[in-house]
A and B are shown apart, each in its own frame.
Chain A
Amino acid sequence: MRAGSNRIDVTVTDVVVVNELVKRFHFERTHGGILPTFSGGAHVVVEMRDEGKTRLNPYSLMSSPLDTRDYTISVRRDDAGRGGSLFMHREVKPGQRMVISNPVNLFSLDLRAKKHLMIAGGIGITPFMAQTAQLAGRGGNFELHYACRNDALATYADVLTARYDRRIHLYRDDHGEKLDLEKLLSTQPLGTYLYVCGPAGMIKWVRATAAEAGWPDETVHFEHFAAPQPGKPFDVRLAVSEVDIRVGEHESLLEAIEAAGLNPPYLCRGGVCGQCETNVISYDGKFLHNDHWLSEEDHRSGCKIMPCVSRFEGKSLTLER
């Protein structure tokens, strides 16, 4: 279940500056041929070799699932992050060879929907680029509401509007345009499914408003990959493999486990899929849970951790791994 066992060698064929924060990367198979077909909402994990360190970051595929001669992703530069996006922005150039995983979809369309209502914030637009292309190709009924800071940062708003015209609704902060979510949610036909991707605050707001308006949980889909946070270094004992490791400041626990030569399972590396869930055998200190997978109860219990995004501070930590 490791992306590592199912990797694709690709060559960067183009790097496009979309605006001051976002760059788009195009990948083709290094050895020729089309890339695997995928479904709208899927992501790939991109491997970055950065001065002896390997970083694996998930990015939503934004090209059309109907055309897999190349894959494209868009990366927003995050100056405060651990450097994955900075590496993509600074180091990755056309002609460069890279390795990506097979596509995995943790944010797929519910094809039973009579209508798909999509809400995007900022760079959260990328999975919708692929989903709208997929739906439009089959005459699907969708409507996209897209909030951004200003025209300059309305990434792909022009492309979407050109393609889908009035099905795209744009809300620019600096123009004082605001999405009236309550009203929008109250006028949707039965059988509508809601999808939201964007900053954590926006997802929370949309989910809460939808719940309040009587939208059942099953009809509300959201995607929010947590980015692994930098933090203080800490030591861990891996009891099953009998190794001691140190997790560096700019490294995730999962990456440190992999650096020790182990192959723990993962899919999303963003705290949402549940694959990397690991039992805690003993600990003395405090957990910094950043995942969206475990329940609050699990978090409090100190029995489980999601090594792709969560950290630890304290004297000792022993994991069943």
Chain B
Amino acid sequence: MGINFKQETFRDDFSFRNSPEQVRRFPFPFHEDGYMYSVNIEPHVPGAKNTVFEHLFDVDEHYVSEMHDRALVLAEDPLRCQSLPHMTLAGWDTLELLMTEKAKSYPEHFSLTRDGDKWHWVNRPLGIDDRFTFGDTSTLPYDPLEYITRQSQGDFAVLDQRDGNLWMDAGIVTTQADWSLDFDIGMNFFEWHAPVPLAHEMGVFKRALKFLMALQQGQPARRHNWTMTINPRLDTSPENYHKWGTDRTTVTPENVGDKVHLRVEIQMFFRLPRSNALLFPIRCYLIKMDELVTSPKWARRFHRVLRDLPPELAEYKGLVRYRPTVVEWLSKYDDGAPTSPGFGPD
């Protein structure tokens, strides 16, 4: 009973869509009818069947196409994957974690055989079958971080921990909400978060950092974040902003349902064993407004969240131009009825 991988695009003709099953497992991020920043961190434990939390690393129907899109981005701009020299060990840690979990969660698609440091990795959906020596970079076609994250949905930042802070010293970033890994490499937790409004003053980052510094191996945590994207474009990078920025002016009442997407990031935190670094996978899920409103509760709630969003957040997330049009469109799906607490559909 494997996953039915789709062939689709996240650029040009934008053929991406979610199957009805995928819509049902969409990680809707609002547990109430409003939104503000908070230290929303919870343990990352495997969750209910048919949710994106069933396994530590979710693989879904978009896997193969997302990996193809990543390869296109990297071919155009190799600076999207970088690792400072002292981060190679953390790269091996990342490779071990992702291979072990994928093989455990999806044995029909991935397998890993270990004989000491001689490893054999098979990735059936992408047609990869490689034997290599764990710890020896010359036995892989890419450095370990790039090798495994070219086969893993979502972006990854790898943080070195030292001097009471976390440092963004490696990563791969091709499906981001408008931030540049290349620019942020070498920054600490407060520095790379510098552009975020309000949260610093609220003390969110101080408390979050304290939690992350103490995060232990074997006890991963997660949080979510969200924004909106016009067209199902994964690579909304600052690097290419001059190419996709005009998308934001194309929203009309007629095309909201198909063009406007809610973009949810499930962000995870893992302590890496050999390097004592922190791995930060950022998994992005997209859903069209047409797909979202198939759940009446999600439609009502998202209408209220978007309508009442503090202006600083709307500005930071880049929603200002099209928010009124989308709120107007969503209002048709909001009869004012109360919504039930929690994330799931009613």
- A43 to B230 Cα, complex, angstroms: 49
Question: Given that A39-B273, A39-B274, A108-B161 are contacting pairs, would A5 and B89 also be in contact in the complex, using a CB cutoff of 8 Å?
Answer: no
CB distance from B97 to the nearest CB of A (A): 10
- B216: which of A6, A39, A112 is its contact (CB, 8 Å)? A6
Which of the segments A98-106, A153-161, A228-236, A251-259 contacts the partner chain? A98-106
The interface size bin for chain B is: 20 to 34
- Per-position binary interface string of chain B over residues 81-125, scored 1 when its CB falls under 8 Å from any chain A CB and 0 otherwise: 000111101000100100000000000000000000000000000
Contact of A104 among B85, B86, B89, B216 (CB under 8 A): B216
Residue ID in chain B nearest A113 by CB atoms: B86
* B274 and A103 contact, CB distance less than 8 A: no
Binding site secondary structure of chain B: loop
Q: Is the CB of B274 within 8 A of A111?
A: no
Name B274's contact: one of A37, A112, A267, A273 (CB within 8 Å). Answer: A37
A165 within 8 A of B: no
Q: For B86, what are the chain A residues with a Cβ–Cβ distance below 8 Å?
A: 111-112
A-B pairs with CB below 8 Å: how many?
56
* Interface size grouping (class) on chain A: 20 to 34
User: B141 near A: Cβ within 8 Å?
Assistant: no
A273 to B215, CA, bound (A): 12
Which residues of B are in contact with A by a Cβ distance under 8 Å? 84-87, 89, 93, 96, 135, 160-163, 210, 214, 216-219, 273-276
10 contacts between A and B (CB under 8 A): A1-B216, A6-B219, A38-B273, A39-B275, A102-B216, A103-B273, A110-B162, A112-B85, A134-B274, A274-B210
Which chain B residues border A270 with CB–CB below 8 Å?
A: none
Q: A138-B89, A267-B214, A275-B214 are in contact. Are A111 and B219 (CB under 8 A)?
A: no
> In the complex the two chains form, what is the Cα distance from A39 to B160 in whole Å?
13
Residues in B with CB closer than 8 Å to A39 are 273-276
A94 neighbours in B (Cβ, 8 Å): none
A36 to B276 CA separation, bound complex (whole angstroms) = 13
Name the one of B84, B93, B214 contacting A1, with C-beta atoms under 8 angstroms.
Answer: B214
Q: What residues of chain A lie closer than 8 Å to B160, measured between beta carbons? A: 111-112
The complex places the Cα of A138 from the Cα of B89 at a distance, in Å, of 9
Q: Is the CB of B218 within 8 A of A36?
A: yes
CA distance A275 to B86 in the complex (A): 28
Is there a chain B Cβ closer than 8 Å to A65's Cβ?
Answer: yes
User: A residues within 8 A CB of B85?
Assistant: 112
* CB-contact partner of B218 in A1, A41, A102, A274, under 8 A: A102
Q: For the complex formed, measure the closest distance between the CB of B7 and the CB atoms of chain A, giving whole angstroms.
A: 38
> Given B84, B210, B273, which contacts A37 in the complex, CB threshold below 8 Å?
B273
Hey, which chain A residues are within 8 Å of B162, CB to CB? 108, 110
Mask of A3-36 contacts with B, CB within 8 angstroms, 1/0:
0011000000000000000000000000000001
> A268-283 vs B: 1/0 string, CB under 8 Å?
0000011100000000
Name which of A6, A37, A41, A267 has the most chain B CB atoms within 10 A of its CB: A37
